[in-house]
Amino acid sequence: MRLKQIIIKALVAFAYYLDSNKTYKKIKYFFWRLMNDDSFPPKRIFDFFMFFLVLISVGILLYDIKHKVHPILEDFDFYFVTSVFAIEYLIRLWVYNDIHKIIIQEYEEAHFVGREFNLWKVIKEIIAKKWEYIKSPFAIIDFLAILPSYRALRIFRIFVIFRLFKLLRYTKSINTFIEVLANKKFELFILLIAVGFVTFIGGAVIYVFEAHANPKIENLFDAIYWSLITVSTVGYGDITPVTHEGRVLTMILIIFGIGFISFATSIIATAFTEKLEELKAERIVRLIKGMNDVYLLCGYSNEAEILCERFKKENQDFVVVDIDEKRVQKATMKGYLAIKGDITQKDFLKNLDFEKITKVFVLTNNDINNSFMILSIKAYCKDSDIQIIALANSEENVSKMQKAGAEFVVVPTTVTSLLMAEYIGHPITFEVIDAILTEKRNAVIDEIIVLKNSILDGKLVGEIDFDKYKLVLFGVLKKNESPLLNETLKIKDGHFYFNPPFDLKLESGDILVVMGYSVSVNYFKYLVERSSI
């Protein structure tokens, strides 16, 4: 009894030690990702290594069937390959679950209700959890794949096939194929029953017609074999009907076979079409993870199409998301990254890497949908500084979208009306605005950030010769500064000074809004960046 208490105390103490040991957790998490997480870069290297190790070991075992294997290759297969397979099997068994958590749970439960620690219950639960993994299909394949190395028992060589099955773990395309078939298992099972039923009936009927007239059909097995070959439309020709009834039955079975093949083809084609959308989405998600400063466009409307053209021209990374398949295809055909999905669904938002997404443009033509999207994104990205720019089709909904979390809301009808009014009253001014917005004659308005230790840092506005650089200064955005002049506009990130005074001092982080030819703006940006190095 005393020994049992000592064992329990030691187990509990060791369990708590493992639970609080950060190094142990880090190591186990690393191996768990190495075995299970397809997005983990080291796993790709591991899968590549295991893939070729399996092929080499299978090649050695197959060569050994009729030839004498060199002792070095034999030792390589027995010691190295078998050891790697065995270690992999033990690691997968180890990372499948946490034994120490089972011990801690039982100890805390026993302590809470005031009963003794049930060691036998813990042992049974640990064994049950590990057995759950051991009896899984892939675990059985891993175990049986170790056996062919023991050449003393030649019967074990039959298990070489399980080494080939191990490739399923390391080949995503094969796994995808199996997953597609698994998703249609009900339809395929029904098809299998139908094929089996027709094959058996055909075999029985041909046996009745041909058993005494056809010397090649000696028993019911021969008849069923012929029926299956006929239904599958393979037709080896080793067994052919000799009676009129048998030939009529052959024609009927061939027609059934063509129908079965067409049905199976349609099932598999439909399954792959459905899976293709998932694979496209996964590819785009992987691409997002490899980008920085990504813009997310929700809804491929006319406004979104214009934005996409602008972003592509500026080499800005962006992704289009739309719930409508046709609009997604339209964006894809133009060469944009587009994915079908519903932004209001949490499961879809989880797949997107919002650590890389800095701005979200909500651009559908439905204000209700836009509001729901804004709320969903804000709810999901509570601790993120992500900026949302939304489209409103009515002035009445601007305040609602701003309350939902949109930093900026644009009303296209209002902007269009203002431009039309500008054209009627001041046609020359309208031409200038149009030239800037459409970048005719390379006229652009752009932002230039004041970098630390650059030619702008610490300078007064009047000390910078903008005429020299063929630029016009519209204003300066000062970060987190109290307004000094009446000619300032209070915005979220600070105060914007229209036509700033000459004595306004520029500091690191300020933003200059300038107009000029694109070549002038780009050259000035280059000078600022180079001077800050």
CB of 440 closer than 8 Å to CB of 512? no
Question: Where in the chain do CATH 3.30.70.1450 domains reside?
Answer: 442-531
Whole-angstrom Cα Rg for the chain: 36
- Note the pLDDT of residue 331: 87
Q: 263 and 285 in contact (C-beta within 8 Å)?
A: no
Q: CATH number for 442-531: choose from 3.30.70.1450, 3.40.50.2300, 3.40.366.10, 2.30.110.10.
A: 3.30.70.1450
Give the CA count within 13 Å in the CB-facing half-sphere of 157: 15
∠ CA 206-207-212, nearest 5°, is 115
User: What confidence score (pLDDT) does residue 197 get?
Assistant: 92
Tally helices (H) and strands (E) across the chain: 22, 11
**pLDDT tens over the chain, length 533 residues:** 577 788 888 888 888 888 888 899 899 999 998 888 877 888 888 888 888 888 888 887 777 777 787 888 878 877 888 888 889 999 999 998 888 888 888 888 888 777 888 888 888 998 998 999 888 888 888 888 777 655 554 555 566 666 777 777 776 666 666 777 777 788 888 888 999 999 999 989 988 888 888 888 888 888 999 999 888 888 777 888 888 888 898 899 989 989 888 888 888 887 777 677 666 767 777 777 777 788 888 888 888 888 888 888 778 888 888 888 888 888 888 888 888 888 888 777 777 767 778 888 888 888 888 888 888 888 888 767 788 888 887 778 888 888 888 888 877 655 555 555 554 555 655 555 566 556 555 667 788 888 888 888 888 888 888 888 878 787 888 875 545 444 555 555 567 787 788 888 888 888 888 877 777 888 888 888 888 87
Rounded distance, CA 354 to CA 351, Å?
Answer: 9
Q: From residue 474, give the alpha-carbon distance in Å to each of 481, 487, 500.
A: 19, 12, 8
Structural tokens at position 401: 């979208």
Match 């369990």 to its residue by tokens: 15
Give the pLDDT confidence score for residue 148 in this predicted structure. Answer: 62
* Residue 304: predicted pLDDT: 84
Nearest to 162 by CA among 85, 72, 63, 90: 85
- Check if the beta carbon of residue 54 is closer than 8 Å to that of residue 85: no
3-state DSSP percent of the chain in helix, strand and coil, to 5: 60, 10, 25
What CATH class has 185-274?
mainly alpha
The CATH 3.40.50.720 domain(s) of the chain lie at: 291-414
pLDDT at 414: 57
Nearest C-alpha neighbor of 386 from the set 350, 360, 410: 360
**CB half-sphere exposure, 217, CA atoms < 13 A:** 25
Whole-angstrom Cα distance, residue 312 to residue 259? 49
CATH class of 291-414: alpha beta
Q: What pLDDT is attached to residue 485?
A: 46
CA 163 – CA 145 distance, rounded (Å): 5
pTM over 0.85: no
Residue type, 372: F
